[in-house]
Amino acid sequence: MPMLAWDQIDTVLLDMDGTLLDLHFDNHFWLEVVPHKLAQMHNISVEQARTQMDAAYAEVHGTLEWYCLDYWANKLNMDIMAAKREIQHLISMREDTLPFLDALRDSGRVLLLTNAHPDSLSLKVERTQLDQHIDTLISTHNYGVSKESQALWQAVQQEFEFDPARTLFVDDSLSILQAAKDFGIGQVLAVSNPDSQQPVREISDYPAIQDYRYLLTDIRNTPVSAS
């Protein structure tokens, strides 16, 4: 039995970091690079810097500021984009992403919906050429709210006119998947291994996958219909 009801899907919305791209780049940047730079800037220990960053992250977690490079650049007095470019070689697609996108491309409407800042999105497109595989790339910063907010879902639905009940949304964040379900998205799929350097997560509240290639036969046998 298929994991997803593909005959009930007209539109596929895909997260980027941890869903199409390996989350290792982002985790390494925010959990290692930033604390080390902060420690050097203020002549404190890395552990002290990590404690400060943990508190700063907690203050804005789940809001657009958490994802906003301008916010962190101002708060930390740090050139965030320059720091990201120092480790840009770590930006990579998941091994199963291109087969998944290729299968979806010929079978229906596919949109990228990411909380990533536009500058971060541009860097990752530059490194991965994601725009060659997905026609529509959407940063929630254009709407002023993140995917955790129902206002975002309302705005995106109004602009792109998809039927929530006939939409599939794929993300590695369980809280964001819940926000999508609360909005009325018909089917959601969790990614259980967003970071290639971390263990696979046990997920019971949502359908979950660790390799999109298991879906390819179902996609091709029951194509996503064009809306």
User: Rounded to whole angstroms, how far apart are CA atoms 103 and 68?
Assistant: 32
* Cα–Cα distance, 172 to 176 (Å, whole number): 8
Give the mean pLDDT of the chain: 94
HSE (side-chain half, CA atoms, 13 Å) at 211: 4
pLDDT, tens only, 140-161 = 999 999 999 999 999 999 999 9
Exposed, middle or buried: residue 100 (CB in 10 Å: 0-12, 13-18, 19+)? buried
Q: Mind listing the pLDDT tens digit for each residue in 16-40? A: 999 999 999 999 999 999 999 999 9
Q: Which two tokens stand for residue 74?
A: 């101002």
- Work out whether the CA dihedral 102, 106, 111, 117 comes out positive or negative: positive
Q: 0.75 cut: is pTM over it?
A: yes
The whole-angstrom separation of Cα 191 and Cα 174 is 9
Look up residue 9 and give its two tokens: 């899907």
pLDDT, greater one: 224 or 145: 145
Calpha distance 214→65 (Å, rounded) = 35
